Structure 1
Amino acid sequence: MWTTESPSAVVESTPPEVIDGASMATAVVEVTSDVAPTSTGVEQRAAAVTILTNDNGNLTKTFFLDEGGTVQKQAAAKLVYGRYQVRHAPDLDALNTILDSLVPTQAVTYGRPVTAEGVVVAQSVKGPSAGAITRTRENFQFGEDAGVLMLDYDPPKDQVAFSPSELLQTVRGCYGVLNKVAMLWRASASSGVNGRGITGQRIYLIVSKASEIPRIGKVIFDRLWLAGFGYYALSKSGQLLERAPIDPSVWKPEGLDFAAKPVLNNGITRASYESEITGDDLLDAAQVQELTAAEIVELKAIKSAARAAMTPHVQTAKEEYIKKVAPMMAEQLKRLNVDADSAAISVMLDRATAQRTLMGNFPLLTAERKWVTVGAVLDNPDKWHGTRFADPLEPEVDGRVAWVNLRSGGKPYLYSHLHHGTKYRLERAPALIEVTAGELPRMVDSMALLLKKTGQMYERAGVMVRVNEEGKIVQAIATWMKVFVHRHCRFEQFNERKKEMVVAECPQGVINGLLANAAQTRMPRLTAVRDVPTMDASGRVIAAPGYDEQSGLLLISEQFSKWPAIRKAPSVSDLGTALQTLWKPFQQFPYVSAADKSVVLAAVLTAAVRCCLRTAPGFGFSATAPGTGKTLLAQCIGALYDGTAPAVSAPITHEEEWQKSLFSSALAGAGTLLFDNAEHAIESASLCAVTTAPAIKGRVLGESREAEAEHRLLVLATGNGLQLVGDLNRRFFTCRLDAQVDSSKVAGRQFDLEPLGYCLQNRLAMITAALTLIQGYVNAGFPAVCDGLASMDDWNKLVRSTIVWLAQQGVTKGFVDPKVALLRDSANDPEAAALAGVLEMAKATFGRNGKFTVAELIKRSAGTEGWADLLRDIAGDQRGVDARRLGQWLLKREGRISNRLSIKRAGLNRTKTVLWGISEA
């Protein structure tokens, strides 16, 4: 509950009968990691069990009698410095042996660290020893081998606990898949203390795939609700807490299982309970299916009825909480020099408990045990963004359980992980701005400063923009801005008649000034909005939700803790697993060669990091017949980038339209552009520029000004026999597909796995896998494994180099340098062939040092078989070869080398007509 003093929980002493954890480390039984066969036919690899030994106290509970003879429980010491060691359990007997061997200074976790043993420290430790890791999801992860699923049972308060047989029957009975699965039952540390009998209990299962543990646990939890065992409990502040016989918060790879026996002091006794193993089979993760649509509807109805039944109890609990906490909050605010009467405090607590809103004077407790108001936090976002806090309603529980996001792109919020997670909106009292005639610049500057602090306004291409609820970049318009301003500011103006300040409306000039001078107001520059982790060109992983100033990226996430961490030093095994995860939906497409597979891998990796790369190539998908899967393949890649299947549009035929379309897409912050089923060769200078320039210039629609819009576009194009003209061939990597069946049968082919649906459903896992592959190359130190790629340095460094490096490590067998496809397609470029033909024709006709006009070139070609046809293909019309069009064609290709030859202007003749000549490199 609320206190005015900083709470502390420190273990005061270690009982003399407890053996030091360091000396007991050798007591842990070594278990082999051989593959074990199972009756289900699923090959089971040993499950990882990581033992952590604390250097500064017990990691198990301590029980003692107080002066009144009542049993008291002391929490475990915090693990600040310690050691970890990975063991392996091929079966539940081995797991039980490991758990039995734990001493009070030890606990276990079922996530696996990068190395088999080492030093572990708390995140608060500054300057840890080399190689030390923190117990975070970045360093402990569920892998693809077998893993331990722990089901934690604690009986509801004031209710009789299940017996072991009742608990096992309840769990098995909720889902038929669990009927014969092997389960290990163990009593918790609290059971049997001073005659209490069995209370808390654990059930352990070994599942075939550890990475599936969170999903499987959630399925079991939901099915317990469907079986009638779910209920709602009340927190101290009157919040409804979703509960079932098992705790859904324990399925974390970094979470601790305090499985060691408790420490018993001054006469405390504890009954001993034998563990029990029932069932035979490994839990095959593939057999655990998600709830059906009908079951989901049924579950929602059950929970809705349960919430309705709790409504009267909720209100009573909130009233009691406010009554108890209000005096302590008043004392705390007084220490912060904040004036707040009892009525205002009650309103703040009511809004916090009922609406999940924390008002400006609401006090928050930092991880350093210091108090600060919400208003002070909102006033200094650079200092407080991402900071850890205690839960706002139960600050005595944990000082680091909550974090604040002031750069979310929407309303700032605090997210607390207590009770499985609650999001609180942060709101300040409106700022006061005095309206005075003739002081427009002051009011605009004041308003701009306040808007910047909200974390909801940005600048893009010189205009003020915001991010809407769908995560799209939207230009701020005057009508919206006026409403937004009044939500954050209170305007007052002196009334001559009343001789006092009265409420006023924001002057339109302030709104116009803000919108007209977006760049001068120094709002944060917004380059892109994403909702999954990513990485910049330096190899820095960006996984913290909010605005990243260095990249200009806004990363949106409601609950960032659900994002899998990226290992800093992935092993070869980790990289192989990541590739399997990433490539699964792409393996069935009919690629012509290894180079084509590699183009797709490059496109997929690009989708994971494109939002932070200044430039990146486009990707083409060419098929021999309709229905081969080229559009589906492109949509899968676009879905990984955007989170939705990208819309398709037809390729544009006029350069002016290309420029307009690309600029408007860049201005709107678009992600994927998919130009589908190109029937003609694609040629565009603007499209070339998009792949090699980080910004596009253009005229803003509806305005008489030009702007430069920074973009992070991923450009994709498809076509049957896709043709790219000129420079596009070195700026697009093209994948070729060939089903090698009769064209009439292509459309009838079916995939064993629906690729697009899989990508959408497993996008986060696939992005994580892509970043893991790149992180492997980054951790190796960015070794120079390939040559450069003009105008695409960042992409070449992060994506192409990763693929080449992975091939060198033996991870990506069957893949090659994607540049192989680039060189192949450049050699087959019809544009390059035409240029080579003209150069050879001119050289043969006029000699190496000869000079000629366009008209002379056309005239001399007429008498040579094949040459006239070549020029007609380039610049022909109904009347023959158009000299003006041919001249423009030559001008665009001036200086380009083909077969060591190039064409260049050589001055003017006597009639002021341009002369051309052939140069040899």
Structure 2
Amino acid sequence: MSSAQAADEAFMVKASQMLQVDGLPGVLISNRPWRELALEAVTHLQTTRAQIYVRHGQLVRIQRKEDGSPFIDALTDATLKGILGRCMNFVKMMARGPVHVAPPDNVVKDILTMGEWPFPPLDSIIEFPIFRPDGTLIDTPGYDAVTRSVYVPLASLKIPPVPEQPTEEDIINAQALIDEAIGEFPYENQASHANAIGLMLTPLIRQSINGHVPLALIDATRPGTGKSLLAETVALIATGRKAEMMTAPYDDDEWRKRIASTLSEGATIIIIDNVKAKIQAASLDAALTSSTVKERILGQSKNGVYAQHATWMATGNNIQIGGDLPRRSYWIRMDAHTDKPWTRGNFKHNLYEWVPLHRGELIAALLTLARAWYAAGCPKATVPQMGSFQPWADTIGGILAHCWIDGFLSNLNELYEQGDDDAKQWAVFLHTWRDFYGDQPVLVSTLTKDIKSGSFDDGDTGLGVASLYNALPDEVSDTKKGDFKRKLGKALSARIGTQFDESGLHLIKAGADTRSGAVYWSVAGLQVSQDAIPQKEEISYINTPLEGLGGGLSGDIPLKNDLDREENKPAKPANLQVFQGLAVDEAGQPLQHFQIVMTPRGEGFITVNLPRCVNVALYLSQEEVSFRTEAEIAQIQPLHQAAGPDEWPYNIASLTDEHILQLGYPSRAALGYPPPSPPLDSLQ
């Protein structure tokens, strides 16, 4: 063996020893491609069980802040380089022999840009035991593949054993301890008390719910009643520390940024504290009904996608909510019945001190209530309908009912009535509009001019332009700021077909100006007189099928008129008649309101855009056309339209309470018309 060969062999022996320093794996940097070195490094990260996860196309890790709170941290070049250097040895062969080196930048960058990694996916961090969808409990620290979460409790958290089959005595004792924590708040009614317990349970069962969780509105009549204290008590139990409070931004862009920033760290408790102005933000509405939130990553050209599994709360005095928020919230209302509620005393505990000391026991008490329900087979309870929040309502409502806690969500209707100030304002505006313009279609430019004229009116003209100005909803009340005409047009477009109050008033597009293409708007109502419903033998139907493919239907589209002239006893209308229709999908679900104009010759024209890829079939009679309501038309459901008009099968579905709610009515009584009349039966 030559001296050179002997030296090389000695170098390799030394390199092998250096690669295994401290019992760590090693990567030998040689003339191999960078991709091979990167793959080898990733393999070593797996074998060393480095706490690295994948979240929506990013490598992340879990870190703790100074207060001990865990958060999800996206890996950068620097942080990944540090992890690689701590988890493995990098050795490079130099002329003088092998030497230890830092992880090469090319290897670091290649790992970050792989796009696919063999690390587990991560959605959220949990700091307390939670239930999986099958009812099993996650109570061992570490990663859980089912919920894609990491349980990282504080070292000080000690939770007493939770019985597998809780007895009545276990449930009673658990309720007593929960009452120690939140029983002294001045709830306005039993519903608010039950909703507060439901709020406490929500973080523990959030991951087991296949759906979304609404916003808890913790509301009071006066300051100092205990709203923020209740919210912080929930946070103290769930996380062991006071929650970071978020103030309510004033514009939607800021809402979007703050929501994304909070969720980017894996927050499980989000509190919007001390709300003073109305809460109305499309970004908040969207976040509450989304599983993920997307936002551009600061300093990068790509978006970050963050899981949304948080429990949301908002606190304030006489909170006002607008937009879609009323139906995405539930209400915890407090009233101390005193003008200085902050002066009350003689409470059992200082919750800021008592809750952290008894946190483990309180978590065990809440888990006992939930486990009792799971052990009983998850019996269903009668709870109000909440749309996409129904799985949450069914789960929390089931737990509370099984544990003899009544009143959950029983104040929802009161919340809808008192909280949806936006709907009330638009109802007043549409009533004023209709009183002023009647059935006359109006351009936005005309409406804008009349409203602005009303801002200078002395108000003595009776039902005039001043009334239009005074009835403007808050959303568009500032006629001098920005492009008012554009803002008003966008607000009208956002409410096409939305029905307001029991009269069913709603906006419709009533055609377009032939020269400018500007849209005409009109306000339509749905009130129907029972006396106007004809007898079955007097009905002659007009089959008016339309089919929209791809781009939807728009403009003046003639409707086929199959009216039997011999059987049509009533005289033809002397003038144009306008009536309302409702496009339905193949399952009969309502999609879009629209208007039809009938000419004296019986020709029909649709005067509004319909949704993309919608099949529309209307069944109207010349006699019933002026009073048949949208809800009645919605019941007539074509199963398919492929075989031609002579072979179409039909199925008439009954109008259920759920359908009524989907149509925008609070109840069957609010529809203003009787159950489906006999003539509909002739279509079966």
How far did residue 831 of structure 1 move?
0.9
CA distance in 1, matches of 2:22, 2:98: 22
CA distance in 2, matches of 1:871, 1:561: 54
- Of residues 93, 100, 122, the one that matches 1:494 is 93
**Residues 72, 266 of structure 2: 8 Å contact kept:** yes
Q: Relative contact order, CA 8 A, sep 6+: which one is greater? A: 2
Superposed, 1:196-211 pairs within 5 Å as none
How far did residue 716 of structure 1 move?
1.5
Instruction: Give SS of 1:625's match.
Output: coil
Match of 1:267 in 2: none
Letter in 1 for 2:493: L
**Residues 274, 317 of structure 2: 8 Å contact kept:** yes
**Residues 599, 821 of structure 1: 8 Å contact kept:** no
Q: Deviations over 1:420-457 (max 9, x none)?
A: xxxxxxx9821122223351112222222322341411
Match of 2:176 in 1: 580
- Of residues 476, 490, 497, the one that matches 1:888 is 490
- How many residues in Structure 1 have an aligned counterpart in Structure 2? 484
Letter in 1 for 2:23: A
Which stretch has the larger CA shift, 863-872 or 546-555? 863-872
- Of residues 696, 707, 719, the one that matches 2:316 is 719
858 and 486 in structure 1: CA distance in 2 versus 1, 3 angstrom threshold: closer
CA distance in 2, matches of 1:674, 1:428: 46
CA distance in 1, matches of 2:510, 2:235: 47
Q: Indicate whether 1:871 and 2:472 are aligned.
A: yes
Match of 1:801 in 2: 398
Q: Deviations over 1:137-181 (max 9, x none)?
A: xxxxxxxxxxxxxxxxxxxxxxxxxxxxxxxxxxxxxxxxxxxxx
How far did residue 639 of structure 1 move?
1.8
CA distance in 2, matches of 1:733, 1:680: 18
Match of 1:912 in 2: 517
Q: Indicate whether 1:672 and 2:269 are aligned.
A: yes
How far did residue 616 of structure 1 move?
1.2
How far did residue 557 of structure 1 move?
4.6
How far did residue 907 of structure 1 move?
4.0
**Residues 667, 711 of structure 1: 8 Å contact kept:** no
Match of 2:76 in 1: 477
CA distance in 2, matches of 1:591, 1:868: 39
Which stretch has the larger CA shift, 849-858 or 708-717? 849-858
How far did residue 596 of structure 1 move?
1.3
- Of residues 222, 231, 243, the one that matches 1:634 is 231
Match of 2:458 in 1: none
455 and 494 in structure 1: CA distance in 2 versus 1, 3 angstrom threshold: closer
Letter in 2 for 1:465: V
Letter in 2 for 1:474: D
**Residues 611, 712 of structure 1: 8 Å contact kept:** yes
Q: Indicate whether 1:754 and 2:353 are aligned.
A: no
**Residues 782, 797 of structure 1: 8 Å contact kept:** no
580 and 827 in structure 1: CA distance in 2 versus 1, 3 angstrom threshold: same
Instruction: Give SS of 2:370's match.
Output: helix
**Residues 508, 523 of structure 2: 8 Å contact kept:** yes
**Residues 535, 612 of structure 1: 8 Å contact kept:** yes
Match of 1:11 in 2: none
CA distance in 2, matches of 1:619, 1:759: 21
CA distance in 2, matches of 1:907, 1:831: 27
Match of 2:51 in 1: 456
How far did residue 714 of structure 1 move?
2.1
Q: Deviations over 1:725-758 (max 9, x none)?
A: 1211111212111110123x54454533112332
Superposed, 1:528-539 pairs within 5 Å as 528-539=124-135
618 and 841 in structure 1: CA distance in 2 versus 1, 3 angstrom threshold: same
Match of 2:31 in 1: 437
Match of 1:742 in 2: 339
CA distance in 2, matches of 1:817, 1:672: 21
Instruction: Give SS of 1:719's match.
Output: strand
Which stretch has the larger CA shift, 714-723 or 437-446? 437-446
854 and 476 in structure 1: CA distance in 2 versus 1, 3 angstrom threshold: same
Instruction: Give SS of 2:26's match.
Output: strand
**Residues 435, 504 of structure 1: 8 Å contact kept:** no
Task: Tell me the TM-score normalized by structure 2.
Answer: 0.66
Match of 1:541 in 2: 137
CA distance in 1, matches of 2:76, 2:142: 23
CA distance in 1, matches of 2:189, 2:400: 16
**Residues 618, 716 of structure 1: 8 Å contact kept:** yes
- Quote the sequence identity (%): 24
Gaps of 5+ in 1: 1-360, 362-426
Q: Deviations over 1:499-540 (max 9, x none)?
A: x655443211111222334x4113211222223211133322
Task: Tell me the TM-score normalized by structure 1.
Answer: 0.49
Aligned-CA RMSD value: 2.8
Instruction: Give SS of 1:792's match.
Output: helix
Letter in 1 for 2:508: K
Instruction: Give SS of 1:639's match.
Output: helix
How far did residue 778 of structure 1 move?
1.8
Q: Deviations over 1:837-893 (max 9, x none)?
A: 23333444455x653223444566753475431116442236599333222222222
Superposed, 1:336-375 pairs within 5 Å as none
Q: Indicate whether 1:681 and 2:278 are aligned.
A: yes
Gaps of 5+ in 2: 1-19, 455-462, 527-629, 631-684
Superposed, 1:272-671 pairs within 5 Å as 429-437=23-31, 439-453=33-47, 454-469=49-64, 470=68, 471-495=70-94, 497=95, 501-517=98-114, 519-557=115-153, 562-610=158-206, 613=209, 615-671=212-268
570 and 637 in structure 1: CA distance in 2 versus 1, 3 angstrom threshold: same
Which stretch has the larger CA shift, 669-678 or 653-662? 669-678
Instruction: Give SS of 1:676's match.
Output: strand
CA distance in 1, matches of 2:80, 2:480: 59
584 and 650 in structure 1: CA distance in 2 versus 1, 3 angstrom threshold: same
708 and 472 in structure 1: CA distance in 2 versus 1, 3 angstrom threshold: closer
Letter in 2 for 1:912: G
**Residues 128, 238 of structure 2: 8 Å contact kept:** no
Superposed, 1:752-831 pairs within 5 Å as 752-786=348-382, 788-806=385-403, 811-812=404-405, 815-818=406-409, 820-828=410-418, 829-831=420-422
Instruction: Give SS of 1:726's match.
Output: coil
